[in-house]
């Protein structure tokens, strides 16, 4: 390990206590759901947005609201419904009778942490307004453009059941999310802990352990985390295998309609940096790529009708790719 990497590693080690403090406070409320908690922290530290899919009652809303209490960041929840308008999210101009002017009234998007609850229940125009804000990091109200606060992260939720009256997110827009996390029911022992904590309905006190300035420092540190050429080539091979699987001994061309875009390789690298940070390292390893790959890629590989007919999922295809691409 050369001197520069050692210096970055030392910087990361100094932030471990901060990360552990956040996780410790969140664990007071959130039982299990490790992938979701880690995904939220990776998104917060790297500036990525998270899409979470799971049935009701699995602590999706509780996770991000708990995070907002643990870090000193503004938090807003938007319940997506069929009658929601884009201005309900972004804001609008309000006429002031005293001054005779129109004044901007900013919407809930002007917060650090946004929960877009059941995003697939709102029409396409509303989804587009949110996704544009996620991409551009600013909002135009009237003739004036306003920058969104930093840091800025959206966690959107989708309910995989009860699809009546829902609007599927367009595939091109789903690509704006750094990661898609699927959560499942807790284990028996975890459910026992949940029951013990929650059955008396008393509020569990949380401490705010991290300032906005500290989050900004960690955001900057993410950019310094080292990725060697061998790991970069590994990322490129994985993405290329979705486009030219025959070059890697894979016979899955008939299963993929649209392979991963260049945004996939960018997000795979950034998410791996975030995961390296959570594990106290100033450099990315091939294992970091593997640990985040399913979350980064599952919503970026669009399958053919043949794959769907055979009951093959994007996760199955990703697993085949990782079993074939040579690890550096």
Distance from C-alpha of 126 to C-alpha of 117, rounded to nearest angstrom:
13
- Residue 93 pairs in a beta bridge with 104
Peptide bond into 151 cis (omega under 30): yes
Distance from C-alpha of 53 to C-alpha of 169, rounded to nearest angstrom:
12
Which pLDDT does position 274 carry in this prediction? 93
Which pLDDT does position 167 carry in this prediction? 61
Longest CA–CA separation in the chain, Å? 72
Distance from C-alpha of 119 to C-alpha of 148, rounded to nearest angstrom:
20
Q: pTM score, two decimals?
A: 0.86
Which pLDDT does position 294 carry in this prediction? 92
Per residue of the chain (328 residues), give pLDDT as tens. 577 778 887 888 888 888 888 888 888 888 777 888 889 999 999 989 999 887 777 778 888 888 888 888 889 998 888 888 888 888 888 877 887 788 888 889 999 999 988 888 887 788 888 888 888 888 888 788 888 888 899 998 887 765 555 666 777 678 889 999 988 887 888 788 778 777 776 777 888 888 888 888 889 989 999 998 999 999 999 999 999 988 888 888 888 888 888 889 999 999 999 999 998 888 999 999 999 999 999 888 888 888 888 888 888 989 999 989 888 7
User: How do the domains of the chain map onto residue ranges?
Assistant: 20-213, 225-324
E strands of 111-255, at which residues?
Answer: 113-117, 138-141, 144-147, 153-158, 179-182
Same topology for domains 20-213 and 225-324, yes or no? no
Under CATH, which architecture does the 20-213 domain have? 3-Layer(aba) Sandwich (3.40)
E strands of 129-270, at which residues?
Answer: 138-141, 144-147, 153-158, 179-182, 256-258
Q: At what angle do helices 3-27 and 262-278 cross, to 10 degrees?
A: 80
Report the relative pairing of strands 302-303 and 256-258 from DSSP bridges. Answer: antiparallel
Which pLDDT does position 162 carry in this prediction? 55
Q: CA of 269: how far to CAs of 109, 158, 326, in Å?
A: 27, 25, 17
Domain 225-324 sits in CATH at: 1.10.8.80
């Amino acid at each position: 390990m050369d001197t520069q990497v050692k210096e970055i590693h030392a910087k990361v080690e100094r932030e471990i206590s901060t990360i552990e403090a956040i996780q410790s406070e969140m664990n007071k409320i959130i039982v299990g759901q490790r992938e979701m908690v880690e995904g939220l922290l990776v998104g917060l530290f790297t500036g990525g947005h998270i899409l979470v899919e799971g049935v009701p009652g699995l602590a999706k809303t509780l996770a991000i609201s708990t995070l907002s209490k643990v870090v000193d960041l503004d938090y807003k929840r938007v319940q997506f419904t069929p009658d929601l308008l884009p201005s309900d999210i972004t804001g609008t101009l309000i006429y002031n009778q005293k001054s005779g002017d129109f004044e901007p009234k900013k919407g809930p998007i002007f917060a650090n942490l946004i929960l877009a609850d059941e995003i697939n229940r709102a029409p396409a125009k509303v989804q587009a307004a949110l996704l544009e804000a996620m991409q551009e990091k600013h909002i135009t109200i009237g003739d004036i453009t306003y920058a969104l606060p930093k840091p800025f992260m959206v966690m959107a939720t989708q309910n995989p059941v009860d699809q009546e009256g829902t609007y599927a997110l367009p595939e091109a827009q789903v690509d704006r999310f750094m990661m898609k996390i699927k959560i499942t029911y807790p284990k028996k022992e975890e459910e026992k802990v949940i029951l013990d904590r929650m059955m008396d309905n008393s509020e569990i006190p949380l401490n705010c352990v991290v300032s906005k300035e500290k989050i900004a420092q960690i955001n900057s540190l993410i950019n310094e985390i080292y990725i060697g050429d061998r790991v970069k080539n590994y990322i490129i091979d994985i993405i290329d295998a979705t486009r030219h699987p025959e070059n890697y001994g894979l016979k899955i061309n008939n299963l993929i309609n649209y392979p991963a875009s260049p945004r996939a390789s960018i997000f795979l690298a950034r998410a791996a940096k975030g995961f390296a940070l959570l594990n106290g390292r100033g450099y990315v390893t091939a294992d970091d790529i593997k640990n985040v790959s399913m979350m980064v890629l599952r919503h970026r590989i669009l399958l053919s009708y043949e794959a769907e007919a055979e009951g093959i999922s994007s996760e199955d295809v990703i697993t085949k790719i990782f079993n074939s691409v040579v690890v550096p």
